Amino acid sequence: MLQKSKKEEIIKELEGAIKESESLVFVNFHGLKVSDETLLRRDLRKEGVNYKVSRKSLLARALKGKALGVAPELAGEVAIAYSKDAIASPREVYNFQKTHQGILNILGGIFEGKFVDGAYMTEIAMIPTREVLLSKLAFLLQSPMQRFAIAVNEVAKKR
């Protein structure tokens, strides 16, 4: 049993994490082995994402008044993944979830100051990185110019 002072300290840590992060993901990690959790934490840390396991009651106290809407139901063992990058935490949890089927579940989260459900957080996680989006944009812009250059070249060959 935790002492009251320790509980207050944990709640303050959680409140600080919620306040400093751009997005926060609630993760159910039922059945996660210690070796897999170590791998998960290492992968998240590489991308600047923090991961914290907490009691649901303490997490609920820390979440009061921190976001708009109704908090999603937090079933099973719950952890939070959070970062200053709005898309990094859902993306990294989703990537780990893809490689380790059936271990992690995204229950929901906080995005742009609102509670959102697991499906919405999964959609956010599927957004490509900035570099990928920029390369796709460059390719789309290059294609018409390339076709125009080919057309001009063909006209020049005929004359």
pTM beyond 0.85: no
* Per-residue pLDDT tens over the stretch 37-76: 898 899 889 988 889 888 888 888 888 877 787 777 788 8
Angle at 81 between CA 93 and CA 126, to 5 degrees: 35
The residue among 156 and 67 whose pLDDT is bigger is 156
108 strand-pairing partners: 26, 117
Residue 62 to residues 3, 12, 16, 120, Cα–Cα distance (Å): 17, 7, 9, 22
Q: How confident is the model at residue 151 (pLDDT cuts 50, 70, 90)?
A: confident
pLDDT value, residue 143: 81
* Phi, psi at 52, each rounded to 5°: -140, 130
* Per-residue pLDDT tens over the stretch 73-124: 788 888 999 988 888 889 988 988 888 887 888 888 888 888 888 888 888 8
pLDDT value, residue 61: 85
Where would I find the H helices in the chain? 4-20, 34-46, 56-63, 88-99, 118-125, 130-158
pLDDT value, residue 2: 74
Domain residue ranges in the chain: 4-127, 128-159
pLDDT value, residue 74: 82
Contact 28, 76 (CB under 8 A): yes
pLDDT value, residue 128: 83
* 4-127 has CATH 3.30.70.1730 classification: yes
pLDDT value, residue 156: 85
